[in-house]
Amino acid sequence: MDEIRAEPPGSPVSIPSTSSTTAPVATPAAVPRRVGSLGPVGLVLAGGVSVQFGGALAVTLMPRAGSLGVVTLRLLVAAVVLLVVCRPSLRGHSRADWGTVVAFGVTMAAMNGLFYQSLARIPLGPAVTLEVLGPLALSVLTSRRALNAVWAGLALAGVFLLGGGGFSSLDPIGVAFALGAGAMWATYIIFSARTGRRFPQADGLALAMVVAAVVFLPLGIAESGTKLLNPTTIALGSAVAVLSSVLPYTLELLALRRLPASTFAILMSLEPAVAATAGFLILHQALSVAEAMAIALVIAASMGAVRTQVGRGKVRVEA
């Protein structure tokens, strides 16, 4: 079983790979030195900004293509882009490698499908607020220090405050979809880390995205049909794919090679704040005083998580 473990300062960093390929492969992060210079925390934050603004753009596209159609376009375009840029090798991988990629792809398809179904029923801010409960739960389950539970609790308080202290006024089906997406998000974190260790660069991500696109294609065709062939819809869907899939998934995969799952999950508590900002700028959803206070809480929790991780020293990842 894969394990992510923190080592004390001065311990070596060990990230073994089961792939026989050691030469660098072109990826969407490829200018990897520049991207890597952000550090794992910077990669996660950049990915969060990208995915939430992509989500806001997706909401404006739903009247044209439907929620399932938007997900289909997002996954298809992302798969094509990643295949062209990464050119992943299909050889030299074990059965366990392929099993990990398939599980990762199915998880991505489920996560996206459930989340966009929630966006069709409830606003962006509350949807992301509910979804982030999945990573927060993961942070508590995987953490080995009580202090991380404190940061998770602080972030959780902010999450509920951002949702107005409760969700009784929201569509219950939309709430259920958002919570399901949160469970898939927690699963995504686990399989993203495993895929990043088994495949060089973003090869595993590219292959998993193809799996996700193939799984979702019949659903998108059933709901939207020829609407998916409209040039404007394709252009907007491509923008959503780049912002919501290609950039954030690549950045997060790279970050998870150097960041424990527990710290990564707590950083995800920033997503409601970013979503609220994207909703304000793109969807004209105003921020309330309670939402501003919630943003302050989740930022404080994330800063505390980062400081705790820095104090723990380097990270060792074992398979």
The reply to whether 17 falls in a domain is: no
Tell me the residue range of the domain where 113 lies.
38-318
Backbone angles phi, psi at 6, to 5 degrees: -90, 140
Helix (H) or strand (E) holding 305: helix 289-312
Q: What is the pLDDT of residues 142-175, one digit of tens each?
A: 766 778 778 788 878 877 776 666 555 678 898 8
The reply to whether 230 falls in a domain is: yes
* pTM assigned to the model: 0.73
Decide: helix, strand or coil at residue 318: strand
The reply to whether 214 falls in a domain is: yes
Please list, in sequence order, all residues whose beta carbon lies within 8 angstroms of the beta carbon of residue 306, skipping any fewer than 6 positions away: 41, 263, 267
Residue 164: the pLDDT is: 64
Q: What is the pLDDT of residues 185-224, one digit of tens each?
A: 889 888 988 888 888 877 888 999 999 999 999 999 998 8
Spatial contact of 197 and 257, defined as CB atoms under 8 Å apart: yes
CA-based nearest residue to 266, from 126, 142, 180, 125: 142
**Which one-letter amino acid corresponds to residue 11?**
S
What is the Cα–Cα distance from 50 to 221, expressed in whole angstroms?
Answer: 27
Q: What is the pLDDT of residues 119-144, one digit of tens each?
A: 888 888 788 878 887 877 777 777 66
What is the Cα–Cα distance from 219 to 52, expressed in whole angstroms?
Answer: 23
The reply to whether 21 falls in a domain is: no
Q: Which two tokens stand for residue 241?
A: 């794919």
Question: Residue 184: is its pLDDT beyond 60?
Answer: yes
CA-based nearest residue to 193, from 183, 184, 204, 182: 204
The reply to whether 98 falls in a domain is: yes
The reply to whether 23 falls in a domain is: no
Kindly list the distances between the CA atom of residue 69 and the CA atoms of 8, 211, 224, in Å, as whole numbers in the listed order: 47, 17, 6
Question: Residue 100: is its pLDDT beyond 70?
Answer: yes
The reply to whether 284 falls in a domain is: yes
The reply to whether 161 falls in a domain is: yes
CA-based nearest residue to 208, from 62, 311, 93: 93
Residue 38: the pLDDT is: 62
Number of structural domains found in the chain: 1
- Can you list the alpha helix ranges (DSSP code H) found in 87-171? 95-119, 124-131, 133-142, 146-162
